[in-house]
């Protein structure tokens, strides 16, 4: 056997290992956010270039919002500017990848901002530093200056989406109940804010109690329960014009817990009548009603599956509050919650894979998720009072209400990702409860 023939197998193995190493080094940048042990991905975002005089502050503000969006996910880590060994003098200049590799930046975001009158243009590019190439194409966003935060959120959504492979959720809004005053005299108003708590605006005054606001699928309307007429009625409010109309739901003592269908055409809700509560559907344009449950127990909190074929809801028909699933047209419900304690406020994930819920057990409240057949229950939070979960548009994050104990206890909105990591309080001007997360904005 020749010397070359003797070493040939070893050479082949070495070449294969080298090829694998090269693949690992040069493979596309990718982050799996569902991994509970994910290591935050280090990224660099030098302050965006101001391309016009006077755009410096706006460029800096936009850069900070993008960085806050990404770090706020818990799966990205911003490298401080003090660590940079290279600077971006111009948006058009070639990237010195070696300098960014030196500080272990896996991703680099560069951008530029130009302001002309009340028009702003934001440009950005995303680079995969270790493979030495651009990740996706550069983009330019144009709009009016007062929409600058939305443009920053859109850039962050693009970065998040290109690296994780998931849809983003930053350019979205949340409708909620703003609460002020002591517990004995709590004032409640309907309010709307950006997902990060910015731009809070009030949609109703505090002259009557409002409850359980829910966004329509395209975010143009909010449906909610109000005591405006002296008893609970369901209203739909146009968030663009702040005009509202009472929905033509079936007559009853109380109408509450409404949600839009996925096409926004019909509403599912509960009616309490004569001490009994059941679930109904009303087709809004025609005003036609359909009764979906008929039981002597309390059936409420309906939520449709993304394909519209099933409804998850809570019921105490077994003697304790549990979660059930039934066909969207009504029919025999199937219980899916079997753990210890009481389950309520189920919400179907927009991805269709999970159902979020509130659980009360042993004096504690939890936000949890389970598969749609009730399996693989996981509790994500635990406190004196956690309730009312709502899903982010990409089905990866939940917001919910957390209320603190005691006379001075107040509600706040928190978020947590679906793996149970990254619990954060959403900053609001006053007390806040019952969030409903809207879709990504166009």
Partner 1 sequence: MQIGICPTRSARPTGTAPGGTAYCPDSVNSCRNGPTTIATRTLPENMNP
d(CA 107, CA 95): 12
Determine contact, residues 234/202, Cβ cutoff 8 Å: no
Q: How far is the CB of 139 from partner 1 (least distance, A)?
A: 6
CA distances 356 to 146, 202, 368, Å, are: 35, 27, 6
Residue 200 or 295 with smaller CB distance to partner 1: 200
What is the DSSP secondary structure assignment for residue 129, as one 8-state letter?
T
Q: How far is the CB of 60 from partner 1 (least distance, A)?
A: 15
d(CA 210, CA 10): 74
Q: How far is the CB of 173 from partner 1 (least distance, A)?
A: 10
Dihedral sign computed on CA atoms, order 182, 183, 184, 185: positive
Instruction: Choose, by CB under 8 A, the member of 102, 139, 276, 383 that binds partner 1.
Output: 139
Instruction: Choose, by CB under 8 A, the member of 34, 116, 207, 245 that binds partner 1.
Output: 207
d(CA 127, CA 93): 13
Residue 13 or 198 with smaller CB distance to partner 1: 198
Nearest Cα residue to 418 out of 214, 166, 225, 185: 166
Q: How far is the CB of 134 from partner 1 (least distance, A)?
A: 6
The yes or no reply on residue 200 touching partner 1 (CB under 8 A) is yes
Q: How far is the CB of 141 from partner 1 (least distance, A)?
A: 5
Strand partners, 312: 303, 325
Binding segment for partner 1 (CB under 8 A), chosen from 1-9, 63-71, 133-141, 400-408, is 133-141
CA–centroid distance for 199 within its chain: 17
Q: How far is the CB of 198 from partner 1 (least distance, A)?
A: 6
Which two structure tokens, joined as six digits, stand for 32? 């799996």
Binding segment for partner 1 (CB under 8 A), chosen from 70-78, 200-208, 340-348, 365-373, is 200-208
Nearest Cα residue to 78 out of 88, 91, 64, 90: 64
Binding track, positions 230-249, relative to partner 1; x by CB under 8 A: ---------xxxxx------
The yes or no reply on residue 60 touching partner 1 (CB under 8 A) is no
Nearest Cα residue to 70 out of 160, 132, 8: 160
The yes or no reply on residue 214 touching partner 1 (CB under 8 A) is no
d(CA 442, CA 440): 7
The yes or no reply on residue 203 touching partner 1 (CB under 8 A) is yes
What are the residues whose beta carbons fall under 8 Å from the beta carbon of 225, sequence distance 6 or more?
Answer: 210, 211, 212, 232, 233, 234, 235, 255, 256, 257, 258
Number of residues engaging partner 1 in binding (CB under 8 A)? 38
Binding track, positions 141-170, relative to partner 1; x by CB under 8 A: xxxx-xx-xxx--x----------------
Length of the chain, please?
442
Determine contact, residues 156/69, Cβ cutoff 8 Å: yes
Binding segment for partner 1 (CB under 8 A), chosen from 81-89, 203-211, 310-318, 409-417, is 203-211
Instruction: Choose, by CB under 8 A, the member of 116, 140, 318, 404 that binds partner 1.
Output: 140
Binding segment for partner 1 (CB under 8 A), chosen from 51-59, 71-79, 192-200, 386-394, is 192-200
Q: How far is the CB of 149 from partner 1 (least distance, A)?
A: 6
| Contacts to partner 1 by CB under 8 A | 92, 94-95, 123, 125, 133-134, 137-144, 146-147, 149-151, 154, 192, 194, 198-205, 207, 239-243, 441
């Amino acid at each position: 056997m020749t010397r070359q023939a003797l070493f040939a197998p070893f050479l082949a193995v070495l070449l294969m290992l080298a090829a694998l190493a090269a693949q690992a080094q040069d493979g596309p940048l990718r982050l799996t956010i569902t991994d509970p042990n994910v290591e935050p991905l280090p990224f660099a975002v030098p302050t965006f270039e101001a391309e016009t005089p006077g755009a410096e502050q706006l460029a800096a503000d936009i850069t900070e919002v993008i960085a806050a969006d990404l770090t706020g996910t818990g799966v990205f880590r911003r490298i401080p500017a003090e660590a940079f060994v290279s600077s971006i003098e111009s948006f058009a200049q070639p990237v010195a990848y070696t300098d960014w590799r030196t500080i272990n930046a896996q991703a680099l975001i560069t951008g530029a901002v130009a302001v002309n009158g009340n028009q702003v243009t934001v440009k950005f590019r995303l680079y995969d530093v270790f493979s030495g190439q651009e990740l996706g194409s550069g983009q330019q966003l144009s709009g009016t200056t007062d929409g600058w935060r939305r443009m920053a959120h859109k850039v962050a959504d693009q970065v998040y989406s290109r690296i994780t492979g998931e849809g983003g959720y930053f350019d979205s809004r949340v409708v909620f109940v703003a609460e002020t005053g002591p517990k004995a005299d709590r004032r409640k108003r309907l309010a709307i804010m950006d997902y990060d708590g910015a731009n809070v605006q009030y949609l109703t005054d505090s002259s009557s109690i409002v409850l359980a606001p829910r966004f329509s699928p395209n975010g143009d309307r909010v449906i909610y329960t109000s005591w405006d007429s002296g008893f609970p009625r369901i209203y739909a409010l146009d968030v663009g014009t702040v005009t509202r109309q009472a929905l033509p739901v079936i007559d009853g003592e109380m109408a509450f817990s409404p949600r839009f269908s996925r096409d926004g055409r019909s509403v599912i809700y509960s009616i309490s009548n004569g001490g009994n509560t059941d679930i109904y559907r009303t087709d809004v344009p025609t005003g036609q009603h359909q009764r979906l449950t008929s039981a002597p127990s309390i059936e409420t909190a309906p939520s449709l599956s993304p394909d519209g074929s099933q409804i998850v809801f809570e019921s105490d028909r077994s003697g304790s509050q549990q979660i059930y699933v039934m066909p969207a047209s009504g029919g025999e419900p199937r219980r899916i919650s079997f753990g210890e304690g009481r389950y309520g406020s189920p919400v179907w994930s927009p991805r269709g894979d999970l159902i979020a819920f509130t659980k009360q057990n042993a004096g504690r409240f939890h936000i949890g998720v389970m598969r749609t057949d009730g399996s693989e229950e996981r509790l994500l939070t635990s406190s004196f009072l956690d309730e009312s979960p709502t899903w982010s548009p990409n089905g990866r994050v939940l917001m919910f209400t957390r209320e603190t104990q005691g006379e001075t206890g107040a509600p706040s909105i928190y978020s947590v990702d679906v793996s149970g990591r990254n619990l954060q309080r959403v900053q609001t001007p006053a007390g806040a409860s019952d969030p409903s997360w809207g879709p990504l904005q166009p």
